[in-house]
Amino acid sequence: MEATDEGLQTSWGQQMRFAEVTLLNKKRWDAKGIARAFYTAAGKKHVFVFDDFKYQREPLGQILRRLEAVLQPDQIIGGISEAQRDLQNQGEAPEADHSEVDQADANS
């Protein structure tokens, strides 16, 4: 699979334009590395399966980030966006500091 300017394509010829995606289901992304993009092309509904068993996880995550950047928040279901995950991961250390401040406030 490779990313293009407008979407992605596979070695077997499946193409998906990011603008055609109507829904991204990430329900199994955290546990199984599987996400499903539902899209309409030429008037027909299709599903593209992102599977980290078939593709390397990090490049796949980068493609998901590009896709999620063009989707509305309500089009991403079953999990958080990769951008939100990045923010959470960056915020872990400061959150620990905030909890100490919150505990001190509760004791005063």
CATH number for the domain spanning 35: value is 2.30.29
CA-CA distance, 66 to 6, in Å (whole number)? 10
Specify if 58 maps to a domain.
yes
Q: Are 65 and 82 in contact (CB under 8 A)?
A: yes
Number of structural domains the chain divides into: 1
Specify if 20 maps to a domain.
yes
Amino acid at 24: L
Specify if 15 maps to a domain.
yes
Find, among 4, 29, 19, the residue nearest to 81 by Cα.
29
Quickly state the pLDDT bin for 95 (edges 50, 70, 90): very low
User: Which pLDDT tens digit goes with each residue over 43-73?
Assistant: 999 999 999 887 777 888 889 999 999 999 9
Specify if 44 maps to a domain.
yes
Specify if 60 maps to a domain.
yes
pTM metric for this prediction: 0.77
User: Which pLDDT tens digit goes with each residue over 2-34?
Assistant: 888 899 888 888 889 999 999 999 999 999 999
Query: What stretches of 1-107 show up as alpha helix (H) in DSSP?
Result: 29-32, 57-70, 82-107
Domain that holds residue 64: 2-79
Strands in 2-3's sheet, in edge-to-edge order, are 2-3, 7-9, 15-17
